[in-house]
Structure 1
Amino acid sequence: MTIPALPLPKAADGTPVEMPLLGFGTWQLHGDSAYQAVRDALEAGYRHLDTATMYGNEAEVGRALRDSGVQRDQVFITTKLPAERAGQERRTIEASLRDLGVDAIDLWLIHWPPHRGRSVPVWQAFVEAREAGLTRAIGVSNYDSAEIDELTAETGVTPAVNQIRFGPSLYDPAVLTAHRERGVVLEGYSPFKTTNLHDPALTRIAATHGVDPARVVLRWHIQHEIVVIPKSKTPERIARNADLTNFVLTEEEMQAIDALGSR
């Protein structure tokens, strides 16, 4: 059993784009710590790396990928445009590509909705970047359904992904349904910060499967087909978080975790 991937709209050249459900987050990782954490993640089997212009670590992420020996086409790379860079889209993605040392990224996100109604022109620039082959897919982060609908209505192009703060305690089936009705992949960040890992429901389920509660949370995301990007700089924890293929949550266990969102 392997961690699956979700299909996104095809790249501008017609090639398929698949986003692994498990990724490695790099927020707050800097310098040598960022480099080593990404090396450790790739060694542990992660094939999806999440960074952003504002993280200031794209160069370290790119260097770690090159030094890892893992082929570029085996790794899905996401980076993000800061909202304050509205109007500087092309310059920003070109800088990201230089720092990452790649010809194109797999997914480019608007990190936050720009102020004063600037989402639509930024999104149009994202569409142009995709058509130019600088990124294979485009999406958003921290958007609500109405903001996504505005982009679709004004440009005819729906974001492939919306990355939002997510975890069992934030679970709302209406949010998941809203994304799926629009054909938007839901991606969750801060899965542990939004979750009480000592909750009795999680510790009970973890004990049943002989794993820790963090892995129960990650497995819950994957079985809901929600992309999740845990972050750590501890090699043992990085490897442990990737070890998700030897257990499956039952329907009853999934429902018990879902219920954490209604407390």
Structure 2
Amino acid sequence: MTALTDVYTLANGIQIPKVGFGTWQMAPEDATPAVENAIALGYRHIDTALVYGNERAVGFGIRNSDVKREDLFVTSKLPAETKDYDGALRDFETTMANLELDYLDLYLIHAPWPWREMGGNYDTQNRDVWRAMEEIYASGRVKAIGVSNFNVHDLQNVFKDAKVKPMVDQIQYYVGYTEPTITQFAQEQGLLVEAYSPLATGGILNNQVLNGLAAHYGVSIAQLAIQFCVQNGVLPLPKATSRDHIANNAQLNFEISDADMAKMNALTGTRN
């Protein structure tokens, strides 16, 4: 069983709600009402990014809620294309201006390489950017810092010069695609792994095995997939725009058996 008020504790002692609300691929006109609904329905962890183009809308939804800022956990991300110290500081200021918030709870490097050069080697640049992330963290305007889409090599590279290690690695993670090498390494190093696209952008919703398991527990595949992440010690970031789906994703009042968790962890090719 997982409640939206349940938390993980990051390496620096900061508490982070175990289930977040993702806004990737969410248009600004959809983001504000979606965030407002999510907060009204009990979500306390909101995730966005500068590259999503919806920070202003997300920030408005947060400020328009009846929940105090200190009771919310807000994450944003430095664009993957930004690979220099000065650019990182500049883009952070842009994010803060967009959100119109006094501080962020978590700030992440969105990827180890620019999206147009996926897989490229930016080791030197990532260490330079991490120096900026540490400066932002030291300012007190961000409570925790981390990375996204970093593999083992990328993490080890940042560790070389880091005075403050990343506290989070946000990766694509869903039933049938759990990145075990990255996940195990990150967790062994004290990082919390976050799962974006825990429903594989809807790609797992027609899987027959998962349909059978969901029926067994009397839940939706979405609920099953989200709970699967939590029981693996991973933080899911489901996205939805309709109020009904937002509410449904939060109903996690069940527990997957050890045997079924083993079965789900062994699955591959679940995405249609």
Tell me which interval the TM-score lies in, with the shorter structure as reference length. over 0.9
Q: CA RMSD in A?
A: 1.7
List aligned pairs for 1:179-198, cutoff 5 A. 179-193=186-200, 195-198=203-206
C-alpha distance in 1 between matches for 2:136 and 2:184: 29
**Does the aligned pair in 1 maintain the 2:151–2:182 contact within 8 Å?**
no
Q: CA deviation at 1:255?
A: 0.9
Question: Which deviations, in whole Å up to 9, do the C-alpha atoms of 1:99-153 show, x marking residues without a partner?
Answer: 2121110110000114543100000100010001121110001110111111111
List aligned pairs for 1:152-171, cutoff 5 A. 152-171=159-178
* Gaps in structure 1 of 5+ consecutive residues: 11-15
C-alpha distance in 2 between matches for 1:67 and 1:251: 41
C-alpha distance in 1 between matches for 2:176 and 2:263: 11
165-174 vs 135-144, greater mean Cα deviation: 165-174
C-alpha distance in 2 between matches for 1:28 and 1:173: 26
Partner of 1:60: 57
In the alignment, does 2:75 pair up with 1:78? yes
Partner of 1:6: 8
Partner of 1:132: 139
Give the SS at the match of 1:65.
Answer: helix
Identity of aligned residues (%): 35
C-alpha distance in 1 between matches for 2:206 and 2:263: 14
**Does the aligned pair in 2 maintain the 1:23–1:48 contact within 8 Å?**
yes
Q: TM-score, normalised by structure 1?
A: 0.92
**Does the aligned pair in 1 maintain the 2:18–2:235 contact within 8 Å?**
yes
> Which one-letter code corresponds to 2:249 in the other structure?
N
> Which one-letter code corresponds to 1:203 in the other structure?
N
C-alpha distance in 1 between matches for 2:178 and 2:22: 20
Partner of 1:243: 251
Partner of 2:111: 112
Q: CA deviation at 1:172?
A: 4.5
Q: 1:123 aligns with which of 130, 139, 149?
A: 130
C-alpha distance in 1 between matches for 2:234 and 2:11: 17
Question: Which deviations, in whole Å up to 9, do the C-alpha atoms of 1:224-255 show, x marking residues without a partner?
Answer: 110110111111101100111x2111111111
Partner of 1:13: none
Number of residue equivalences: 257
C-alpha distance in 1 between matches for 2:244 and 2:269: 33
**Does the aligned pair in 2 maintain the 1:51–1:78 contact within 8 Å?**
yes
Question: Which deviations, in whole Å up to 9, do the C-alpha atoms of 1:34-75 show, x marking residues without a partner?
Answer: 101111111111110010000111111111111111111111
* Gaps in structure 2 of 5+ consecutive residues: 114-120
In the alignment, does 2:219 pair up with 1:220? no
**Does the aligned pair in 2 maintain the 1:160–1:183 contact within 8 Å?**
yes
> Which one-letter code corresponds to 1:160 in the other structure?
M
C-alpha distance in 1 between matches for 2:242 and 2:262: 31
Q: 2:217 aligns with which of 209, 212, 224?
A: 209
